């Protein structure tokens, strides 16, 4: 028999395909936050820095945890690297309003004018 047996090759490729299909959605795992809903969602996909505040009052710049006292210096470093940086704030709906204002104030004190709030789309609106 002078032909190559491709059945084992097809089996291996199928197993690899299944493994990649299962692991691909798990590769990008953000921080779990229960976002409030809004009727308008105006964020367009672009280069951005996301500041997240969890229900445990932990603050993350992208995926790096920073303390409340280090937040303003981290924002100043971002502003120094790119003066036109845009910050998107993701805050859990269960945290106090004062914590969100504190984070927003740190962003503004660093000289960053572009600050957006990330919300979930409102499922009740048509």
CATH of the domain at 115: 3.30.420.270
Query: What is the DSSP code (8-state) at residue 121?
Result: E
What is the residue-averaged pLDDT of the chain?
A: 83
Residue 34's CB is within 10 A of a number of other CB atoms, namely: 12
Query: What's the whole-number mean pLDDT along residues 52-81?
Result: 87
61 belongs to a structural domain: yes
62 belongs to a structural domain: yes
- Report residue 81's pLDDT band, with 50, 70 and 90 as the boundaries: confident
19 or 41, which is more confident:
19
Domain range for 105:
37-121
Q: What is the pTM of this model?
A: 0.61
Strands 59-61 and 64-66: antiparallel
Rounded CA separation 79/118 (Å)? 20
Query: What's the whole-number mean pLDDT along residues 69-78?
Result: 88
111 belongs to a structural domain: yes
Q: Assess whether pLDDT exceeds 60 at residue 77.
A: yes
Query: Max Cα separation, the chain?
Result: 77
65 belongs to a structural domain: yes
Structural domains of the chain, count: 1
Which whole-number Å values give the CA distances from 40 to 11, 32, 36, 105, in the listed order? 47, 22, 12, 24
Predicted local confidence at residue 23, as pLDDT: 86
Predicted local confidence at residue 126, as pLDDT: 58
């Amino acid at each position: 028999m002078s032909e190559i047996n491709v059945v084992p090759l097809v089996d291996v490729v199928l197993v690899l395909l299944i493994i990649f299909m299962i692991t691909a959605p798990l590769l990008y795992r953000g921080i779990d936050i229960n976002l409030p809903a809004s009727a308008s969602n105006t964020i367009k996909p672009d280069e951005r820095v996301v500041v997240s505040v969890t229900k445990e009052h932990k603050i993350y710049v992208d995926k790096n945890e920073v303390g409340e006292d280090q937040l303003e210096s981290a924002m100043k470093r971002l502003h120094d690297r790119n003066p036109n940086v845009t910050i998107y704030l993701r805050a859990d709906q269960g945290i106090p309003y004062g914590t969100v204002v504190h984070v927003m104030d740190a962003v503004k004190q660093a000289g960053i004018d572009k600050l957006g709030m990330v919300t979930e789309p409102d499922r009740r609106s048509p």
